[in-house]
Structure 1
Amino acid sequence: MRDLRIGAVGFGNRGELAREAHRPGGGAEIVAVCDVSERSRAEARGAFPGAFVTGSLDELLASELDAVMVLTPDDQHAATAIPALEAGLAVFCEKPLAISIDDCGRILEAAHRTGSRLYVGHNMRHMPVIRLMRSLIQDGRIGEVKAVWCRHFVGNGGDYYFKDWHADRSKSLGLLLQKGAHDIDVIHWLAGAYSTRVQAIGALSVYGAIDDHRDRSGERAEEWFSLDNWPPTAAEGLNPIVDVEDISQMNMVLANGALASYQQCHFTPDYWRNYTVIGTEGRIENFGDESGAEVRLWNRRHPSAAPADETFIVPEAEGGHGGADGRLVSEFLAFVRDGGATETSPIAARNAVAAGVVATASLRGDGCALPVPALPPELVGYFHGGQQAPRRRV
């Protein structure tokens, strides 16, 4: 079969996913790139010689493509994904699916209406540590899941999220959604159910007191990132607008009765996620989240803190996010050709956004528990059924 012809919209900090999809002679080729930045367009010309490079979405969609990768900032996902779906193209949409529940619904409805295939880039479902924990749960090693706790230490938060558009709630809504959408989705996946009620509190505890700001719109994160940028209170050159929380705590009630919590802090010295999953017959917890880290299991009674009853090593893997980026893109390319079920899910992606959006409303309100709106059953059935609209084979 010929290589899939892929267009990428956005070639900034998320451009590595387009590079990952560029596999000339191996199944796919980036043949078109759209970006409003001249710098990004120049970089795309260097990365993909011979590709059509433009600043116009309409021009990109008018070129001969099989699929589009939406790698724009989050607030532009709906405005990009919907026209691509309506053009009959398969769409890879980076997470979060959108920054509002309404925009998520519009994207899902466009995919349903047109029959165009929609894939959402929740790469953590392909991370070895998460897959290891899920396999232990599915094998019944801890019984029925009743609780999931996640602590997210975002040690690079000051550089990654407070020096560009992420710090502006009009562009990201907030980091409980933007950064947390990954973890909310994983919590739902490990527990086997979606959130029905959520509650949150949070604050702008550190970065709001810093008055050194500048416009970095022409820069890349790697140009200002350094582990020497410490302590957080000494951060310089923050985004001109900083109005998102740098610490937040979220509680969730899931549809199956399980309870979950998610804590996120952007001024810790270390950068990793710690998941604890408690079932009716034991619990598991990860110590580190990269290759070589440990997932420990306790399934006997102990009088106090005790060594794990079993320890599992996270498998070695190469590539971004523990090899997850490569597996994510490979799954997307196979999905473009053949359709069918995938590890990621547009419904799960929407429900992660919905939980994050409602939790942010709780956080910025009075901290009360609020209901998470459900999707229409016909949409749920369509996407859970593998998007089975007839499509040509490519």
Structure 2
Amino acid sequence: MNDLRLGVIGLGVRSDLVDLAHRPGSGSRVVACCDRDPDRLAGQARHRFGADALAVTDHRALLRSDLDGVFVLTPDFTHEAIGLDFLRAGVPVFLDKPLAITTAGCDLLLAAAREHGTPLYVGHNMRHMPVITAMRQVITEGHIGEVKAVWCRHFVGHGGDFFFKDWHADRRNTTSLLLQKGAHDIDVIHWLAGGYSRRVNAMGGLVVYGDVNSRRERTGERMTDWLAPEENWPPLSLRGLNPVVDVEDLSMMQMQLDNGVFASYEQCHFTPDYWRNYTVIGTEGRLENFGDAEGAVVKVWNHRSDYRADADITVPITAQHGTHGGADPLLVQEFLSFITKHGATVTSPVAAREAVAAGYAATESLRSGGQLVEISPPDPDLVAYFDGGQS
């Protein structure tokens, strides 16, 4: 069997994903790559993918490269346009999350995938993370009964370095971090709850990093060039933030799902610790994770008592080999299998759209005084198409 011919758009930090797919002679290889930074392209392309790999600065050149699939790993605000180009050209697309930065953009991508019969896969790797799969298993096995409420607190301890020194800090590029960063957690909330948000409201603000006046342009740099967790603390000591900083560093939203479940999500970008904590409450118990990486545990209480640290069930979390607790290798493996066999996947383009829609509506609410915002569901025919495995 010949190797799948793959392309990659964007050689930034997240391009480590495509290294997992570049396995010449073992089923897939990267034959073409694109990055708008010619220096980055020259320094990486042939070193990583071989002397014969096509290297270009315009993604449209890859449309004519006879690719079996393409990884779009570019900044969020480019996902819609680049994704549409490849979907319309019939090239299967791995589109990193979030699917787009508006609900309308997501709907255009879903419609294009269906219209042209082009496989679309969205990189929601958290659906493969051991802590998330453990919580979902606890729920599906019935240990807490029927889910009625989900709470998530996300402590983004490296937020200043990760999101306030480059394009992420500008709402024109992300809509908000409630959408950009929150799309992961909103998708997980939906997955654990078995439904999608239909009514949301939110509050929040730029409460810390807006007071940091040190700003500078970082064109040509990557996050790994400035990340220094040991040095950049406390948050107000950060220097060299993006010239434009107009996204919130603290936000909280409430959701009512289409199946009656209520949920909340809180996100803070200036905590000393970096992890996410979920609580899921059902009709017969509750679960909560402590930690989200190697050594974490999921605890389940399903017998009445006063406070007790010991749980009725404790599930230890063991990370697998690879980044994000082994989730990224599974994500790439699923995409490669999907473009050859099609069929259902753990990730879902419809769910990706619903996560963006919730984050987009919550941002609208947050910036208009916390008003309630209704979310329209996607076209039922589109839902049926994707639920049917895109065939």
Q: Paired residue for 2:132, among 130, 133, 150?
A: 130
Q: Report the CA distance between 1:40 and its aligned residue.
A: 2.4
SS in 2 for 1:46: helix
RMSD: 0.8
Query: How do 1:274-285 residues align onto structure 2 when only pairs under 5 Å count?
Result: 274-285=277-288
* Aligned residue number for residue 313 of structure 1: 316
Q: Report the CA distance between 1:62 and its aligned residue.
A: 0.7
Alignment partners' CA distance in 2, 1:26 and 1:275: 39
* Aligned residue number for residue 358 of structure 2: 355
SS in 2 for 1:381: helix
Q: Report the CA distance between 1:138 and its aligned residue.
A: 0.4
Alignment partners' CA distance in 2, 1:303 and 1:90: 53
Alignment partners' CA distance in 1, 2:342 and 2:390: 7
Q: Paired residue for 2:261, among 235, 258, 262?
A: 258
* Aligned residue number for residue 391 of structure 1: none
* Aligned residue number for residue 161 of structure 2: 159
* Aligned residue number for residue 44 of structure 1: 45
Alignment partners' CA distance in 2, 1:306 and 1:226: 35
Segments of 5+ residues of structure 1 without an aligned counterpart are 389-394
Query: How do 1:291-306 residues align onto structure 2 when only pairs under 5 Å count?
Result: 291-306=294-309
Q: Report the CA distance between 1:306 and its aligned residue.
A: 4.1
Q: Paired residue for 2:276, among 261, 273, 276?
A: 273
One-letter identity of the residue aligned with 1:255: D
SS in 2 for 1:323: helix
Q: Report the CA distance between 1:39 and its aligned residue.
A: 2.5
Alignment partners' CA distance in 2, 1:209 and 1:352: 30
One-letter identity of the residue aligned with 2:366: L
* Aligned residue number for residue 289 of structure 1: 292
* Aligned residue number for residue 392 of structure 1: none
Q: Paired residue for 2:98, among 87, 96, 99?
A: 96
* Structure 1 ranges of 4+ moved more than 2 A: 303-306
Residue 335 (1) aligns with residue 335 (2): no
* Aligned residue number for residue 212 of structure 1: 214
Alignment partners' CA distance in 2, 1:100 and 1:316: 33
Tell me the alpha carbon deviations over residues 248-280 of structure 1, each in whole angstroms, 9 at most, x when there is no partner.
001000111110000000000000000000000
SS in 1 for 2:324: coil
Q: Report the CA distance between 1:289 and its aligned residue.
A: 0.3
Tell me the alpha carbon deviations over residues 267-315 of structure 1, each in whole angstroms, 9 at most, x when there is no partner.
0000000000000000110000002211001000002344211211012
Alignment partners' CA distance in 1, 2:307 and 2:294: 29
* Stretch deviating more after TM superposition (44-53 or 268-277): 44-53
Q: Report the CA distance between 1:135 and its aligned residue.
A: 0.5
Q: Report the CA distance between 1:27 and its aligned residue.
A: 1.6
SS in 2 for 1:303: coil
Alignment partners' CA distance in 2, 1:161 and 1:39: 23
* Stretch deviating more after TM superposition (15-24 or 201-210): 15-24
Alignment partners' CA distance in 2, 1:67 and 1:158: 34
Alignment partners' CA distance in 2, 1:376 and 1:200: 26
Alignment partners' CA distance in 2, 1:350 and 1:326: 23
Alignment partners' CA distance in 1, 2:18 and 2:291: 28
Alignment partners' CA distance in 1, 2:294 and 2:283: 28
Alignment partners' CA distance in 2, 1:139 and 1:271: 29
Residue correspondences, number: 388
* Aligned residue number for residue 181 of structure 2: 179
Alignment partners' CA distance in 2, 1:281 and 1:214: 53
User: TM-score, normalising length from structure 1?
Assistant: 0.97
One-letter identity of the residue aligned with 1:86: R
One-letter identity of the residue aligned with 2:347: T
Tell me the alpha carbon deviations over residues 82-111 of structure 1, each in whole angstroms, 9 at most, x when there is no partner.
110111110000000000111101110110
Alignment partners' CA distance in 2, 1:25 and 1:364: 52
